[in-house]
Chain A
Amino acid sequence: MANHAAHADDHAHDDHDHKPEGFLDRWLFTTNHKDIGTLYLVFAFTMAIIGAGMSVVIRTELAAPGLQHVQPYFFNQMTTLHALVMIFGAIMPAFVGLANWMIPLQIGAPDMALPRMNNWSFWIMPFAFLMLLGTLFMPGGGPAGGWTMYPPLALQGGASVAFMVFAIHMMGISSIMGAINIIATILNLRAPGVDLLKMPLFTWSWLITAFLLIAVMPVLAGAVTMLLTDKFFGTSFFNAAGGGDPVMFQHIFWFFGHPEVYIMILPAFGIVSEIIPTFSRKPLFGYQAMVYAIASIAFLSFIVWAHHMFTVGMPLGGELFFMYSTMLIAIPTGVKVFNWVSTMWKGSLTFETPMLWAIGFVVLFTIGGFSGLMLAIVPADFQYHDTYFVVAHFHYVLVTGALFSIIAAIYYWWPKWTGRMVNETWGKVHFWWTIVFVNLTFFPQHFLGLAGMPRRIPDYNVAFADWNLVSSIGAFGMFVTPWMMIAIFAMSKKKGAVASQRPWEGAHGLEWEVPSPAPHHTFTTPPVIKPGMLAHGDVSH
């Protein structure tokens, strides 16, 4: 690898591309934040297609009552791996990819603070997922005890338990290194003048998310390691017959699991807080409140975990505590939603594709938030728990929440990455197609859960048949969207209109101060911040 640093000084701001020549040099040995960001995004997209394929298997079996296509055990492998692949393989790496691309650009840094570790963070991931998905082709098949891996059931698996545990360890190492890198970058490499409370919301959301990752990924690693030793080394952490406690696993798992949920949504808040002001041509309403709301949500995420386990038989005091703490999350989340709406109020709105996805996010994520509030009410949760109502809830926050924000971000920053505009018509077709089918898929699942359909079952009573068919039709429609997306972005890359440095009229922030496409090396000398350059700098608070 060439030493770019010395080289780039001469060229300063208008640095020309000095990309490594060979394919392996460019991608395998890369330490460039933009290339690593691209790698993360391509990897996440690939995983999303694999995970979506699994959901198609699930929805095909569930399209009608009776078992038509797969055995129940394989069905359980599909639900388990669908979740693991989507959470750890698609949503999280996509956000890390966006962080890699955008954080240095947003704070005026030349690269991530720890570029070689950055390379390693990424390149662990494909191997982790090869191991995890490889279990499907082993005797006994893949893990089938649910992504939550509750013992004793999870321990009934064969060799797949070990492969799953090691894969999770590797993903965890990758996430922790990524998080350290993001924190180090944001705290050390901000250009002079980019104070913490002048940073864009996306960078802010990632700073907080990175601390969550560092706090909880080791907890998950500990939990799965105990599973591993229970299974293969005769310990009894979770084995009641040996003096252990199966519920302890759930407490440890969800102490990781709930912050994990916010790891997947806080960066989404950041993205939407970038896009809505841009297309409203108006500063973000309540910038500091937005930052503090994210911080409060992150704090609360550590004290709500047991709301995932209201039915395990906790003492009354425990159930009340976790009900109240969970309900409290509605306050900062409400502040965020109100602030987005207020940002649009008396703005000058246009509805380019990124804005459509951001608005779709606000509406549909809020619906997921509503069902989350309902789930917090313990006596009602005794009915909702482990039904399709829960499935509907978390798909609204993860698909129309997290995933929508990722798609919005790709449409928003694509011109900066490639120097090409996306065809607006096709972007809108993509959006409206998704809106129709995503709601067909997940909205009826509320009804199914309320009618009494448990989750994670491969077959059901005929009373549940109609809404299940609707949901399956929605899922098949959804499976068109990743291919549509490939076509749209391939088309743009090939013959899209040339993007200007600031392709969106209302966009503010340092990423719009560099040319489109962003050169391979940017901000090799720190930018000089001028009035109007930062999205939040000039606004008085």
Chain B
Amino acid sequence: MNRVLGKWGLGAVLAAGWSMALAAPERAPWQLNMHPGVTQSSHEAYDLHMLALWICVVIGLIVFGAMFYAMFKFRKSKGAVAATWSHNTLAETIWTIVPILLLVVMAYPATKVLINEAYTNESQMTVKITGYQWKWGYDYVNWGDKAYHVRFISKLEGTSDRTRQLRSGLNPADVKNAQGENTYLLDVDKPLVLPTNTKVRFVITGDDVIHSWWVPALGWKSDAIPGIINDTWTKISEPGIYRGQCAELCGQDHGFMPIVVKAVPPEEFKTWLDQQEAAQNPPAAPAAAPVAQQASIAAPSNG
């Protein structure tokens, strides 16, 4: 915990808030703050967010404190007589230097985090994500050394889709999953299944317009841009269901292309992936098989 900030002595303060925040559900009514998520990136984003927030709060208290003190103390109605000075070299030097130091306090850990996040090597598997108007395509490219050809489209599930029609008469509050969690606009027909404790590399692109793939619990978003492939990675620590949404305006149904990640233990994932591989690429006549496989890989990249 607080691997980034521990050395700055704010670790203890942050840790308290951090564990409280972690206990909360990922999305809740009247929620005030960011959720720390389930990856190193999301924890680091959260820590940097809290660090910057507290620095701003402290500066705010000092500046606004001084201002409100002046507003009550130096009123003309209380007989205040205006001073005539308009300079104070010492004060001006201090309030130039101190903010610079505070910026370094924020920039240094942010730089370290960013360098680590940019390092996509040494991943154990690769998933290609393609944004379409208005759904997501997922290709499982490999697992370790073995190539896979599993591909599917993931889009808004039916109940949400019926409910979200203009004046549908259906109540968004009624859209719930088996656990009673409200999944309105945050559920898909087929989730992206990922293994926990595995460095997963994503290559992300767009097919038509720019989209952005964002699951807050993973700690980042990455734009899905036609003609460009972005790569990024994650390593999910906890099994669970993590929900997100397209974050870049992509047309009329931009609000209706959610993302669901289902994180399962690696063994379970391997079993699932092999099943999918078998189902999507059934052993056909020996001559025909390679062609069919190639077609299934090539299809999504025809941008």
**B132 on the A face (CB < 8 A):** no
**A240 on the B face (CB < 8 A):** yes
Chain B, 246-262, CB within 8 A of any chain A CB? 246-256
Question: In the complex, are the beta carbons of B220 and A383 less than 8 A apart?
Answer: yes
**Known: A145-B249, A334-B95. Is A152-B210 also a contact (CB below 8 A)?**
yes
A386 to B91, CA, bound (A): 38
Q: CB-CB < 8 A to A320: which residues of B?
A: 111, 114
**B44 on the A face (CB < 8 A):** yes
Q: CB-CB < 8 A to A334: which residues of B?
A: 95-96, 99
Question: In the complex, are the beta carbons of B44 and A379 less than 8 A apart?
Answer: yes
A345 to B71, CA, bound (A): 8
A346 to B66, CA, bound (A): 11
**A197 on the B face (CB < 8 A):** no
Question: In the complex, are the beta carbons of B66 and A461 less than 8 A apart?
Answer: no
Q: CB-CB < 8 A to A362: which residues of B?
A: 67
Question: In the complex, are the beta carbons of B75 and A350 less than 8 A apart?
Answer: yes
CB of B283, distance to nearest CB on chain A (Å): 36
CB of A292, distance to nearest CB on chain B (Å): 11
A337 to B303, CA, bound (A): 49
**Known: A145-B249, A313-B230, A457-B255. Is A67-B164 also a contact (CB below 8 A)?**
yes
A153 to B133, CA, bound (A): 10
**B81 on the A face (CB < 8 A):** yes
Number of B residues, CB within 8 Å of A: 103
A367 to B61, CA, bound (A): 11
Question: In the complex, are the beta carbons of A156 and B86 less than 8 A apart?
Answer: no
Q: CB-CB < 8 A to B250: which residues of A?
A: 153
Chain B, 231-273, CB within 8 A of any chain A CB? 231, 244-256
Name the residue of chain B whose CB is nearest to the CB of A333.
B99
A312 to B210, CA, bound (A): 10
A324 to B100, CA, bound (A): 11
Question: In the complex, are the beta carbons of B31 and A463 less than 8 A apart?
Answer: yes
**Known: A65-B184, A246-B210, A463-B31. Is A240-B226 also a contact (CB below 8 A)?**
yes
CB of B169, distance to nearest CB on chain A (Å): 9
Of B47-55, B138-146, B192-200, B286-294, the segment with at least 4 beta carbons within 8 Å of chain A is: B47-55
Could you give, for residues 281-296 of chain A, a 1 whenever the CB lies within 8 Å of some chain B CB and a 0 otherwise?
1111111010000000
Question: In the complex, are the beta carbons of B182 and A350 less than 8 A apart?
Answer: no
Question: In the complex, are the beta carbons of A348 and B49 less than 8 A apart?
Answer: no
Q: CB-CB < 8 A to B81: which residues of A?
A: 348
Q: State the main secondary structure of chain A at its contact with B.
A: helix
Chain B, 155-179, CB within 8 A of any chain A CB? 163-168, 170-173
Question: In the complex, are the beta carbons of B227 and A240 less than 8 A apart?
Answer: yes
Q: CB-CB < 8 A to B166: which residues of A?
A: 67-68, 70-71
Question: In the complex, are the beta carbons of A386 and B252 less than 8 A apart?
Answer: no
**B121 on the A face (CB < 8 A):** no
Chain A, 56-76, CB within 8 A of any chain B CB? 65-68, 70-73, 76
**Contacting residue for A330 out of B60, B74, B99, CB 8 A:** B99
CB of A417, distance to nearest CB on chain B (Å): 26
**Contacting residue for A245 out of B117, B118, B227, B244, CB 8 A:** B227
Could you give, for residues 21-50 of chain B, a 1 whenever the CB lies within 8 Å of some chain A CB and a 0 otherwise?
000001111111111000001101110110
Question: In the complex, are the beta carbons of B106 and A150 less than 8 A apart?
Answer: no
**A172 on the B face (CB < 8 A):** no
Q: CB-CB < 8 A to A377: which residues of B?
A: 48-49, 52, 106-107, 110
**A146 on the B face (CB < 8 A):** yes
**A382 on the B face (CB < 8 A):** yes
Of B11-19, B122-130, B211-219, the segment with at least 4 beta carbons within 8 Å of chain A is: B211-219
CB of A254, distance to nearest CB on chain B (Å): 14
Question: In the complex, are the beta carbons of B71 and A447 less than 8 A apart?
Answer: no
**B279 on the A face (CB < 8 A):** no
A520 to B303, CA, bound (A): 63
Give the residue among B46, B223, B230 with the most A Cβ atoms within 10 A.
Answer: B223
**Known: A153-B209, A344-B67, A374-B56. Is A465-B244 also a contact (CB below 8 A)?**
no
Question: In the complex, are the beta carbons of A348 and B80 less than 8 A apart?
Answer: yes
CB of B5, distance to nearest CB on chain A (Å): 12
Question: In the complex, are the beta carbons of B165 and A539 less than 8 A apart?
Answer: no
Name the residue of chain B whose CB is nearest to the CB of A385.
B221
CB of A150, distance to nearest CB on chain B (Å): 6
**B277 on the A face (CB < 8 A):** no
Question: In the complex, are the beta carbons of B74 and A312 less than 8 A apart?
Answer: no
**B115 on the A face (CB < 8 A):** yes
**B64 on the A face (CB < 8 A):** yes
A174 to B224, CA, bound (A): 36
Could you give, for residues 345-378 of chain A, a 1 whenever the CB lies within 8 Å of some chain B CB and a 0 otherwise?
1111111000000010011001100110110011
Question: In the complex, are the beta carbons of A450 and B33 less than 8 A apart?
Answer: yes
Chain A, 67-91, CB within 8 A of any chain B CB? 67-68, 70-73, 76
Q: CB-CB < 8 A to A335: which residues of B?
A: 92, 95-96
Chain B, 68-127, CB within 8 A of any chain A CB? 70-71, 74-77, 80-88, 91-92, 95-96, 99-100, 103, 106-107, 110-111, 113-115, 117-118
Q: CB-CB < 8 A to A455: which residues of B?
A: 249
**Contacting residue for B110 out of A65, A240, A247, A323, CB 8 A:** A323
Q: CB-CB < 8 A to A237: which residues of B?
A: none
Question: In the complex, are the beta carbons of A241 and B63 less than 8 A apart?
Answer: no
A245 to B21, CA, bound (A): 41
**B150 on the A face (CB < 8 A):** no
Extra inter-chain contacts (4) besides given A241-B226, A383-B219, CB under 8 Å: A311-B212, A311-B221, A316-B114, A462-B182
10 A-B pairs (CB sep. < 8 Å): A280-B82, A311-B220, A373-B52, A377-B106, A379-B45, A451-B32, A454-B255, A457-B245, A462-B29, A539-B86
10 closest A-B pairs by beta carbon, nearest first, are A240-B227, A457-B255, A313-B230, A382-B220, A370-B56, A348-B82, A65-B172, A451-B31, A346-B83, A73-B252
Residue positions of B touching A, CB distance < 8 A: 26-35, 41-42, 44-46, 48-49, 52-53, 56, 59-60, 63-64, 66-67, 70-71, 74-77, 80-88, 91-92, 95-96, 99-100, 103, 106-107, 110-111, 113-115, 117-118, 163-168, 170-173, 182-186, 208-210, 212, 214, 216, 219-223, 225-228, 230-231, 244-256, 303
